[in-house]
Structure 1
Amino acid sequence: MTATPRDAVTAWWQAMQDRDPEALARLTLPDYLASGGPAGRSTGRAALVAEATAFFAEARIDEWAVDGMEVREYGDAAVCSYDWRESGVHLGVPFVMRGLATDVLIRRDGGWRHLAHHVSALPDTAGDETDPGHEGRER
């Protein structure tokens, strides 16, 4: 599944771009927690899957990037902190978002799974040329 915490974070963002709620379910633990996203705060894998399915019906992510990832492993637990950026279309309107994220992952059944995900959005950077090589994948 996901050999490293970094792999798990990358798989998460790819599942978002692929509009794949089943992949998100496989990447999370049943008692998953989220805060800072569109729903504000959500609890549980079922809530994540429901929110993602609703989002995928209205939106798509065309490109994403994860930069500057710091990973701290503590045995079977890890904390990943990174900058993220995504662009796409929501209800027919293009969007660009960026921010900071912190993920808590647990090693379980041979792979790393998300226990918690927190995002803090930063101001819009549409047209920001500091990221000219934005390719929609981890760097």
Structure 2
Amino acid sequence: MTRYEQANNSHDINRVVPLIVPDAVYWFSDGSYRGLEGIARAIEQTFAAIQDEVYEVKDLEWVAVAADHAVCRYRFFWTGLVDGQPRSGQGRGTKVIVKRDGAWKMQHEHLSS
């Protein structure tokens, strides 16, 4: 989760994409995305819309942990500039993380604000 948070805060989609499986499904407040291409596009749109964004995960709880998968829930907070104006938001998140080819990657993310 820390690597994923750091990758998102880099605002570099090339650091985020390797942490997501190709067949992932993401549910955001503004829509649902299936597959790495659609998810990457949605994340890039967020990077473009929120300048200087800082994304933080807090109150992380591991609901289930096994050798090849894990599930967590958390609260998220963000700050940044939207159209040049300071903005912030928060919400709740759930992730399903799977171990593929020896690495932990995101299989599902559900964010709601």
Query: What do residues 1-28 of structure 1 show as CA deviations (whole Å, max 9, x unaligned)?
Result: xxxxxxxx22222222211111111000
Match of 1:29 in 2: 21
State whether residues 83 and 101 of structure 1, in contact with CA within 8 Å, keep that contact through their aligned partners in structure 2. Answer: yes
Query: Distance between the aligned counterparts of 2:57 and 2:45, measured in 1?
Result: 24
**What amino acid does structure 2 have at the position aligned with 1:83?**
R
**Which of 28, 45, 58 does residue 36 from structure 2 map onto?**
45
TM-score (norm 1): 0.73
**How many residues get paired?**
112
Ranges in structure 1 where 5+ consecutive residues have no aligned partner: 1-8, 122-139
For structure 1, which segment, 74-83 or 26-35, has the greater mean C-alpha deviation from structure 2 after superposition?
A: 74-83
Is 1:116 aligned to residue 104 of structure 2? no
Ranges in structure 2 where 5+ consecutive residues have no aligned partner: none
**What amino acid does structure 2 have at the position aligned with 1:46?**
E
**What amino acid does structure 1 have at the position aligned with 2:34?**
T
Higher strand share: 2
TM-score (norm 2): 0.88
Deviation at 1:65, TM superposition (A): 2.2
The runs of at least 4 aligned residues of structure 1 exceeding 3 Å deviation read: none
State whether residues 27 and 112 of structure 1, in contact with CA within 8 Å, keep that contact through their aligned partners in structure 2. Answer: yes
State whether residues 4 and 19 of structure 2, in contact with CA within 8 Å, keep that contact through their aligned partners in structure 1. Answer: yes
Give the RMSD, CA atoms, in angstroms. 1.6
Deviation at 1:50, TM superposition (A): 1.4
Query: Distance between the aligned counterparts of 1:11 and 1:37, measured in 2?
Result: 23
For residues 51 and 64 of structure 1, do their structure 2 counterparts lie closer, same or farther at Cα, with a shift above 3 Å needed?
Answer: closer
For structure 1, which segment, 49-58 or 65-74, has the greater mean C-alpha deviation from structure 2 after superposition?
A: 49-58
Percent identity for Structure 1 against Structure 2: 27
For structure 1, which segment, 55-64 or 96-105, has the greater mean C-alpha deviation from structure 2 after superposition?
A: 55-64
Match of 1:55 in 2: 46
Deviation at 1:67, TM superposition (A): 1.5
